[in-house]
């Protein structure tokens, strides 16, 4: 725990940067830092696995200084699990800690009346005590507080603040540009099929059909400038729609769009896919996926589109 007197929950630049960092940190933790079989599902049961990985990485007899990157990534995931248990949101403790000017903290649902929890302190405790149970014990303490509140107020549930890129995104009405683009692509699908030169039955929206599309795209585009110049043309526009539709029909993805005049982000200006009903769901740009499969992949590399389809999580 940490004192709540120096904790702020909004308007702090460091807090904004931290929250933006959280989904990237969790992805890196899952993809680079932990064994493949380590499942990060935001459940309390995953915390001992995370703690064990930290203890292995920061063993006293480690041959070299391991750095702090894994600690920061672990803090992000640990905090999200604690917020799942106790509700609330991220805050920023402005009290300096040595040379560090503040740190992120978990601020439980206000109804619980609990002090904020600093994931950094929990990590330090885990590495010093080396019991393997510090993270789960912190989650149990919060869970006990939630259970006590439910005894007093049976209809009460902790409310977690939305963490962009981690929590399921709410479904919103289609952007007018996107609605028009989707309608046009669907109308043009038959013509696009003819343009590919493949039998109509090839394009059944299956994962295997992505292999055919990948091959055709590689044959057509030998360089990045050639690909980029062809983006507005019918073949690539139809390919973008097809890749997205495979994900929508087989993986529960949903089309999204951000107006570049309203959003300063790399996602703006192109249709992309999200998984609004899945926590920590995949987000993907079909145009970028096609570029990766045709231009960035090596001559002998194949199955890029199919692999990226597998990145969508089960709904």
Radius of gyration of the chain from its Cα atoms, rounded to whole angstroms: 23
Model confidence pLDDT, tens digit, residues 46-57:
999 999 999 998
pLDDT at 279: 79
Amino acid 15: pLDDT: 92
Contacts of 24 (CB under 8 A, 6+ apart): 165
Instruction: Please tell me the predicted confidence (pLDDT) of residue 98.
Output: 65
Report residue 298's pLDDT band, with 50, 70 and 90 as the boundaries.
confident
Comparing CA positions, the residue from 295, 296, 302, 250 lying closest to residue 273 is: 250
Average pLDDT, the chain: 91
pLDDT value, residue 201: 96
Instruction: Show contacts of 23-27: CB within 8 Å, 24+ apart.
Output: 23/163, 23/164, 23/165, 23/166, 23/280, 24/165, 25/72, 25/73, 25/75, 25/76, 25/77, 26/73, 26/76, 26/77, 26/80, 26/166, 26/280
pLDDT at 35: 74
What is the per-residue pLDDT for 99?
Answer: 65
Angle between helices 69-86 and 134-152 (to 10 degrees): 20
Distance between CA 169 and CA 278 in Å, rounded?
A: 8
Mean pLDDT of 273-288: 88
Supply the pLDDT for residue 39: 76
For domain 7-152, the question of CATH label 1.20.120 is answered with yes
Q: Looking at residues 219-244, what average pLDDT do you find?
A: 95
DSSP 95: S
Domain ranges of the chain: 7-152, 176-309
d(CA 29, CA 170): 25
Task: State the pLDDT at residue 100.
Answer: 65
* Nearest by Cα to 198 from 246, 242, 244: 242
Which has the closest alpha carbon to 158: 105, 112, 92? 112
Is the pLDDT at 174 greater than 70? The verdict is yes
Q: Residue 60: what pLDDT?
A: 82
Q: Is 80 exposed, middle or buried (0-12, 13-18, 19+ CB in 10 A)?
A: buried
Phi then psi dihedrals of residue 273, to 5 deg = -115, 140
Q: Are strands 272-274 and 254-256 parallel, antiparallel or unpaired?
A: antiparallel
37, pLDDT greater than 70:
no
Query: To the nearest whole percent, how much of the chain has pLDDT over 70?
Result: 94
Q: 75-104: per-residue pLDDT in tens?
A: 999 999 999 999 999 999 988 766 667 899
**Phi/psi at 64 (5° precision):** -145, 160
Q: What percent of the chain has pLDDT over 90?
A: 69
Q: Is the pTM of this model over 0.85?
A: no
pLDDT given for residue 63 in this prediction: 62
- How far apart CA 315 and CA 305 sit, in angstroms, is 20
For 181-228, how does the pLDDT look when each residue is reduced to its tens digit (9 = 90+)?
A: 999 999 999 999 999 999 999 999 999 999 999 999 999 998 999 999
């Amino acid at each position: 725990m940490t004192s709540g007197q120096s904790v702020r929950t909004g308007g702090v630049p460091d807090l904004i940067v931290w929250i933006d960092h959280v989904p990237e940190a969790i992805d890196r933790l899952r993809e680079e830092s932990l064994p493949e079989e380590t499942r990060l599902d935001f459940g309390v049961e995953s915390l001992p696995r995370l703690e064990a990985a930290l203890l292995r990485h920061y063993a006293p007899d480690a041959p070299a200084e391991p750095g702090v990157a894994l600690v920061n990534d672990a803090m992000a995931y640990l905090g999200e699990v604690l917020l799942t248990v106790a509700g609330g949101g991220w805050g920023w403790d402005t009290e300096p800690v040595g040379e560090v000017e503040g740190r992120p903290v978990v601020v439980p649902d206000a109804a619980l009346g609990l002090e904020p929890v600093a994931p950094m302190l929990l990590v330090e405790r885990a590495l010093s005590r080396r019991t393997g149970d510090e993270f789960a014990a912190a989650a149990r303490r919060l869970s006990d507080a939630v259970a006590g509140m439910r005894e007093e107020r049976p209809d009460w549930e902790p409310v977690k603040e939305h963490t962009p890129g981690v929590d399921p995104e709410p479904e919103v009405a289609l952007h007018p540009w996107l609605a028009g683009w989707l309608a046009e692509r669907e109308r043009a699908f038959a013509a696009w099929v003819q343009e590919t030169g493949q039998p109509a039955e090839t394009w059944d929206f299956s994962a295997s059909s992505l292999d055919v599309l990948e091959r055709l795209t590689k044959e057509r585009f030998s360089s990045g400038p050639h690909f980029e110049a062809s983006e507005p043309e019918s073949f690539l526009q139809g390919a973008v729609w097809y890749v997205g539709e495979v994900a929508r029909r087989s993986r529960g993805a949903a089309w999204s769009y951000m107006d570049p005049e309203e959003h300063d982000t790399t996602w703006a200006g192109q249709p992309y896919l999200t998984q609004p009903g899945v926590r920590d769901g995949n987000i993907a740009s079909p145009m970028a996926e096609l570029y990766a499969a045709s231009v960035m992949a090596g001559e002998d590399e194949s199955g890029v589109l199919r692999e990226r389809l597998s990145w969508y999580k089960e709904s």
